Amino acid sequence: MLSEESIYQEILKIRAQDKNSSCVDCFTANPEFISVTFGIFICQSCAKKHLMLGPSISRVISLTSNLSSEDLISIQSGGNSALLTFFNYYKISSFPIEYKYCTSAATFYQDMLKHISKGQDYPKDLLSIYEGQTLYHKIQENAYGIIEVEFNQNNQNPNLLNQNNLPESNPIPENSSSISSFFKNIGDNINNTFETVASTPLSTYFNNIITGLNIATNQIEIEIKEVGKDISNIFTE
């Protein structure tokens, strides 16, 4: 079992990688906080907004807190690049923090990261872009207010968090087909996706999704052009 110091040093190494060196929400350099729920690095200003959502939506800790092995695994399995790729797909990256982390897409990602962190398959299809942009959690008006949080040693204020927890709506319905079948339907030839995803950074995983979508889109464009040629030939004959 890793010591607290070893975990801290490993977290610092991960923060130095790729997009982890800046806040996932505002791109401020050298973020000092982590949302364990999403496996991301965030700055103090954005951490305050995450705290307003409550720990059931985004559990926030600082890099100097007593980090657990589970916290480390969450960061190793996720990372800023992975979340940005996922949010970009659903076109919610530029949405306010108080909104995008309450969407169905964010809830889907949160649940998927839990499974991947444990090396488990995730048995749900990706949501459509429209479904992903819809709210999964109700947003209270005071969630948009500006509050000042006095960060204690654990960077959590239980009273504040309890007052600002956002109620959950109906859960996302189970799908009978797996997410891997979705990839096959869009022409992605990833083999044994969920047998290897636990050891693959989510950023690479979602880049494969985007690649598959691009391949499918290009194929559609080619087919449309071919149809257009056929129609032209009909009228010129």
Residue 216 lies in a domain: no
Q: What is the pTM of this model?
A: 0.62
137 within domain boundaries: yes
In a domain, 218, yes or no: no
Summarised one tens digit per residue, pLDDT across range 85-102 is 999 999 999 999 999 999
Residues recorded for the chain: 237
- Note whether residue 191 is domain-resident: no
Is residue 84 a part of any domain in this protein?
Answer: yes
Residue 79 lies in a domain: yes
User: For the chain, what is the domain count?
Assistant: 1
Structural domain range at position 71: 4-176
Cα torsion angle, 43, 72, 151, 54, sign: positive
Query: What's the CATH number where 33 sits?
Result: 1.10.220.150
Instruction: Classify residue 168: in a domain, yes or no.
Output: yes
Q: Which residues pair with 62 in a beta bridge?
A: 33
Mode of pairing for the β-strands spanning 60-62 and 40-42:
unpaired
State how beta strands 33-35 and 40-42 pair.
antiparallel
From first CA to last CA, the distance across the chain in angstroms is 76
Residue 215 inside a domain? The answer is no
Residue pLDDT tens, the chain, 237 long:
788 888 899 999 999 988 999 999 999 999 999 999 999 999 999 999 999 999 999 999 999 888 889 889 999 999 999 999 999 999 999 999 999 999 999 999 999 999 998 888 888 888 999 999 999 876 654 444 333 333 333 333 333 333 333 333 333 333 333 333 333 333 333 333 333 344 445 655 566 666 666 665 566 556 555 655 655 565 555
